[in-house]
Structure 1
Amino acid sequence: MKERKKTRDGITLYSQTDPKSYPRGRALLSESDQTGGRRLIRNPLKNRLRPFLLAGAQLAAVWFLMFSWWHCLTGVFPIEADTPRLYLLCFLFTAALTALWNAPLRRLWKFFLPLLFFCLAGVWIWRHQDGAVNVINLTANAYLSVRRPNANPYTVRPVPDPEMAFMFALFLLPLLFIWSLVLHLRAGKLTAYVLLLAPAGWILAETLVPSETSCWLLILSGGVYAAICGCRDGRAALLKGTASACVLALLISLSAFASRPLEACKEPSDGFYARTRETIETGWIQPLQDSYTQAKAEREEQKRLAREVPPEQEQTQNPEQPDADSSGAKSDPPQPQEPPAVPDPTPETDIQPEFSAESSGDTPDGDTSQPSAENGLGNAEALRIGTSKGTATVSTDKFPDLNALSHFQPDAGTRLTLTLDSRPEGTVYHPSAYGVSYVDSHWYDMTSENGIPPESYLEYPDSLERLDTLCRERAPETLAEASDFIQKEFENHTVYDFQPGPTPSGQDFAEYFLFDNQKGFCVHFATTAALMYRMCGYPSRYVQGYAVPASAFRRQEDGSYTAEVTGDMGHAWCQVLEDGEWITKEHTLPYHGARPEPGIPAASSGRHSWIRNAAGWGLFFLKSCAVCILCLGAAVLLLLTQAALRRQRRYRQFRSVRRGAGIRRIYRALYDTAVFQGMEPTDLLSLQGFETLRDYFPEIPSESMEWLYQTVLETMFYTKNATKEDTKKAWKIYRQFSHMVKQNMTPSRRFIYQYMKVY
């Protein structure tokens, strides 16, 4: 057998004293001979240990990948498993796979043995179905504990912990197989990284964020894996893996320490970060959203005007127009319509719903924009209830029947005009009605001679058992914790939807929204939030009116700012009493802290959809296109940059004159290109290999190929150094060859050859 040693340029050196093993019968090399001032074999013991070093480095890299993968997944979804046993079993499986790939076996056996093991694992899983079902149920329960904490968990059957750990390890075995196979084949790194980032992608798709430690571990393990992948020598793999781990650990530490001052800069409300963010929101984002909202309102206004009766018909139907009778007598003036008995001093709000036939029955002709006893939008009758300070009158004239709300379609018409002395910095909330008492899915306004008693803002129906249990289990201690708790419940379990449908008969409006239907608009969010605040022990009330964005205000000649409030600004929110002052709390999705998005958010089509943009699908599409273009541009720039740097480094090596290293690398590049084009791999230094390579590229003259081959042999097996002219000649041959071979490639292979192989 022939022993070979790879030099830095990839050429194989022969160290066995066999005359037939040398091309053209060149002189033999002994162990004392030197090539380029370096012995071919320094220490046989070190050479025997290098395969074990390579296997150890691969074992550590694959196991570290598995550790980071599992830590990222369980950091967000807490899967109940025996973690120490699981890590030990995965280590043993990885060691077995690494030993298999590095064993001196035929390729057929290397793939037959894993296939046999997978078959045995499948049989074992089939015979222990309880453990396999437990793995699936435990994973599902971990997901439900985060996304649906109130859902009933799946049943987990009693199985010993060692058996469960072994079952989890079997489920992770395909990942270990693929990662170790990529290291063995030195190809397919993209697949390995896709599998590594799969948990993080799933977590982000669920609108969650992996922990900081998980992100650092993924980066560190991926860097070590990339450094070791492609190494054929154990010593090089160990050095590269250690160096990459140290460099990445240093960068991660610097990043972690450098982020602390940046996080501290975010805390002051008047700091640079807060002012910059406010400037971007008010100067860029809000104008885009407001322009879209205004354009939508104009389109709705045009549609409304198109549906109105033409002016000619109004004139013919106007009873005040004088009669055309020749007698000249004037007709009796028409009787004016009877005004409503109790005029509503508050402006009309567009929170009123449009009802389907199933929810409200037949609606009589006439105006149905205000609640009344006839149109079913509310209870017109006033009620009197007893309080600690006497009796109080409650009325629901201004509020809709919540159980009948099926969909929401705002009106774009102008409702009122707001005037302020100065330009507002954020959304202006203009209330038109307050809901104090909540009874049978109805909000009631309350008036009393002695004022509304404070305990009225803490009352809620006893029938709301599910909602009350949820709030008691969390038991927030401060108002801020209560706000965060309510907001997280909405973000995790509900979405905004213009058409949530009516509440079924016999169910409460708020509980059906949060636990069953899980979709609704601002009325649903405001009602449920007000009740949850009361259950947490904080006085609250339901408010409906208008949310006017700051961009809607225009400066007037007298220095004031005026905004025309349109119907599509109609909104509902809740207020909480804190230190004797009512604080506005905005919980309608999407939520942006103390400064919510103006107007009504756009509808969301999926249960856990992250598309909740107040400007609608049009603005979301524009933002998505901009983000995609930026990401694509960054990817292209990164691809071109790495290709240019690698190509520059390779060309510098090609022009190296020292001991003919550049000429040998050029000859190796010709051979690699031929293999890439489909030539069967062969011994590139043998005479047969040279003839095969020469015949495969007829574009290169035979004299040039023979000269290049002879020069490579002389620089390798003799102490002859190549001159600068020889290197320039070889470089010229390669440039002509590279230009011609690219012309004969397909576009896809040319792209891979030029930007991935980088020749």
Structure 2
Amino acid sequence: MKKRRAEKTGIRLWKENDKKFFVGSMDKFVLFLARTLAVGFLALAWWESLLSVFPIELDRKWLYMPLFAFSALCVWFAGIRGKKKIIPGAAGVILISSLIWKNKNLTVAVLDSLANAYLRVHDEGNVPLLLYNVPVTADVWLGVGIAVVTLPLLAVFSFMLSRDKGKAVVLVLLMLPVFLAAVEGAFPSVQACISLFFTAGVYYSISGKHSGRTVWREAVAAGGFLLILSILSWEAAQPIEAKKENKEGRYFQARAFVETRVIQKVEDAVRTGKEKQHDDNQGENASNQEKNEEDNEKYVDSGQVPEDDPLDMGQGAGTSSGGRPAFLTGTENSNLRNIGSFQPGDGEGLWVVSGTLPESTYYLPLEYGKDYADSSWQTVEPDDKVYAEYSQYPENLSRLMELCKKQNIYNVKDAANFIQTEFEENTVYSYSPGTTPGDWDFAEYFLFENKKGFCVHFATTATLMYRMMGFTARYAAGYSIPVSAFEKQEDGSYRAKVTGEMGHAWCETYDNGWMIREHTLPYTGDNPAAAPPASSSNRAQKENWVAAAAVLVLAAFLFWIHASVRRRQKARTAREYADGRGILSLYLMLWDIAEVAGTPRENSLSGSAFEKLKITLPEISGQDWEWIQQAVQQTMFGKQPPSKEIHERLYRLVMEEARIIQGKLTVRKKIRYRYVKCLPLSF
């Protein structure tokens, strides 16, 4: 024994430890660096997918640089084990809380910027309104503030990467931008979806790995594979997109079939249901009619609302035209060339009242554009007349006429699609586009030269384009009131206060009645590179493919989660004795297996039921079936349930039968076995 100990010298042990110490330190640093980059780039892709639909007025580099710094902190914190987390965790919470408390303006700027980004799309649709006033804040501090809001997301990403737990939670968080966009009828850009897919793939490939060398090898391999897959997917989609451009092809035929045979029928059914509900509500509303008439005596009927859901416009006592948007005629900006920025007016003293809650944004016109000449609208008070001027346009707008006349437009829907495509491909929304030079027409300068404007630019140009393509159209200016602005009153009616930011202009076309045509693009900032979510028809079609894929992935994920939870519940119920109830659970599981094999279920304990099971599951011997029948009947009718030993024996028998039957099933039946019946997979 002593001789063996003497053979191990201290010098050799010291050298080995020294080498391990050096290699271990480098490996830890490489592992930390890889995890930081993975979390940082994943958070960057997450924000890119969100901002492609809900834009924030911010230089994004000031958001992304702090993201990587905070990613390093979260990765470091996630690597700490046990009670060592308490001190740095508490210090971080105290530090962030104190910074938020001392920088209230920055906190307000961050929250208002995020709220504006979401509510511009959620509440206003295509009407770009600034709902909250954001305090003046430097881009660098605004970016840092938004990055601080991202800390919980970074913490979850870092924890999963180091512990390899919570993959489902991370997947839900990654899909959150897609969920929010889909709810609002939009989808992240194709580039954002690809970047999120790529970074998420690399991120998942290195999760749970604790060797720096292994992490980098896995990351490079996964990145190369995903890059090739992304390129192949993109190239494979090009022929499909080209075929979709053919208006005589199957894509347009299928779309027309869906629109006429499916969507139209659904809309008709919904409309019929609403009319029936409206008739049913007439009796209920009659009792409140007298009270509503008394309350509405102080309101002046606007005369421009649907007959089946009348709204009234009121103006407070002592209020004059101060509530009118500054871009309406009769002001100093009557010539549209003089309009350089969005000036909505104060809107004070105006409100609308409705007997029911409007289903969508309500448009309140204050004037209509009749004749257009020299960048000015000759306007009329709101009415439903169809003037001859609504089909006329200046002959000197040669560029706009050439663009419209060369199109093969057969109906107003085609015209609307063409106008929207032109705007999405060539213009962006801007609150301050600048004035129009004196030698330019307002509409042509907007569409062909400046390429940026707000609602007046879009509405004016759209109205002229409709007229040039042979359709009756009028320019409208007034207010657009979102549904969220309506508040329920004690008498059951809904009332909305009109604010200055609701000032808006839009276009209307006539076809057996006036139809509102909203062509103003969503606000995406003044940078033309920051295009709207659907910046072209091709891009919109591609995003539809991405959206469909996202919906399928989401549905598959939810289906998988549901099946996994049910499978665990069934396995736990069958495994527990529970005073004999586990035996009944195992008997029902045998019937589930038999159903997958093709035998209809029979909910009874009769001899014929057991005979069916014997035939369907011949792997279980006749002697065992007799024993199973006795155990089940004793559980149901005996004074004492069978013993735990009998339950354990039946459990092993059923699990063995499940193992055998799985090997004989076809792919379709395996799917039913695992995800419909949710039967156990391993024992």
TM-score, with structure 1 as normaliser: 0.41
Relative contact order (C-alpha < 8 Å, sep 6+): which is higher?
2
Structure with the largest fraction of helix? 2
